[in-house]
Copies of this chain bind each other. A is one copy, B any other.
Amino acid sequence: MILPQAVQRLINAFEQLPGIGPKTAARLTFYLLHTPQGFLDRFAEALLSLKRDTKECSICFNVSETDPCPICADDKRDKNIICVVEQPLDIISLEKTGHYQGVYHVLGGVINPLQNITPEEIRIKELLARVKNNPHLKEVILAMGSGMEGEATAMYIKKKLAEENKNRSQPFLITRMGQGLPVGADLEYADELTLQRALEGRRQY
């Protein structure tokens, strides 16, 4: 093969990333051949420090520079509302809304029997422990995706939380993210299930 090893190695690395195929990997690599060495150095350093300079929050399992993470350490956040998400990326999306004042719990995935991800594989045990240790808990929001695996995970967790609720004089709420039309969407392009959920979730106006 005519490719220099250094080029092939970087193509191989890019190809490992999700959503990047051989053509894109080659395109990115050849693009980088024409960037200043300073950018390559900074890129490499960012890769090397990614895990070195971050840790997992021992309370919510978010990615953070500190433990506990800034959200768990923030006195102004309501520790009695826990929003359960699949991954740290979801926290960023929710924080961008600026409309959530509770704390989070990162599952680190969803139950997926096809990929051998059982309930033990994700941080459900840790969530139940957190719930058990908080007698003042007001609400758990199940904010995993609305696909099949997300729904299955939400149902599984709901059952576990409902059991815990039976032991409480003051049970906490278990909620799920609202479903319906995305903002800006036209009805004609919405699928039937989304329209059905939008009808079920209609509000007085």
Contacts and interface: CB of A to CB of B under 8 A. Distances in A.
Interface in A1-45: 2-7, 9-10, 12-13, 16-20, 24, 26-33, 35, 37, 39-45
A51 B70 contact: no
**A: contact size bracket:** 35 or more
Give chain A's interface secondary structure class. Answer: helix
Contacts of A92: 2-3, 26
Interface centre among A13, A24, A53 (most CB of B within 10 A): A13
A183 interface: no
Contacts of A2: 69-71, 91-92, 95
A47 interface: yes
A3 B54 CA distance: 10
A17 B45 CA distance: 16
What is the count of identical protomers in the complex?
2
A13 to B, nearest CB: 4
A29 B42 CA distance: 15
Given A2-B71, A44-B44, A45-B44, A50 B18 contact: no
A31 B42 CA distance: 19
Interface of A: 2-7, 9-10, 12-13, 16-20, 24, 26-33, 35, 37, 39-54, 63-65, 69-71, 87-89, 91-92, 95
Q: Which 9 A-B pairs have the closest CB atoms?
A: A6-B53, A44-B44, A10-B46, A9-B46, A44-B47, A13-B43, A4-B65, A4-B54, A6-B49
Given A3-B92, A10-B43, A40-B51, 20 more contacts: A2-B92, A7-B63, A9-B42, A9-B45, A10-B46, A10-B47, A12-B46, A17-B32, A18-B31, A19-B24, A26-B92, A30-B87, A32-B47, A32-B50, A33-B54, A37-B51, A40-B47, A40-B50, A43-B44, A44-B45
